[in-house]
Amino acid sequence: MRIYNRYLLVLAAAFTLSTTLLAAYGQDRLDAYFTAYVIEYLVVTLLFVYLDPRTRRLLDGLGYVLFGGFVVIVLFKVLEILRRS
């Protein structure tokens, strides 16, 4: 299962790197971290194009859920901006 191991390792490395970078830049909003994770997840999953079709279906499902979370964050941001104006 080396392709699965590689996939998990790449994701773990991407998450750790983005957390370190955002923390180094003094980011203190949780939604910024979550957005970075969602983008990284979608990009890495897209790059591993040769995953087994069954695995891909499951990961695509998780991608929809995460993207839903991202959309909710964007909606809250829009509402916040509208309330201010």
Partner 1 sequence: MSPRFRLPLPPQENRAKQSAYANIGLGLLLGGVLAAPAFFFVANSVPLTALALSAVLLGTIALFLDRSLPQVPPRAAQLLLESGLANLSGLLEETGVIAQAVYLPSTLTEGQPRALIPLSSHGQRPTVSQINSQRLIVEFGPHPDDVGLLVSTPGGGALSLLDEHIGSTSAELESALTKLLVGAFDIASTVQVNQENGLVTVRVGGIRLSTGILWVHRILGTPVASVAAAVVAEGRKAPVVIESEARKKDVVTVRLAVTR
User: Is the CA virtual torsion 41, 42, 44, 49 positive or negative?
Assistant: positive
CB of 51 to partner 1, least distance (A): 6
Q: With binding defined as CB under 8 A, does residue 71 bind partner 1?
A: no
Q: How many CB atoms lie within 10 A of CB 34?
A: 14
CA distance linking residue 52 with residue 48, whole number of Å: 10
Q: With binding defined as CB under 8 A, does residue 80 bind partner 1?
A: no
Binding site for partner 1 (CB under 8 A): 1-4, 7-8, 11-12, 15-16, 19, 22-23, 27-30, 33-34, 37, 41, 50-55, 58-59, 62, 66
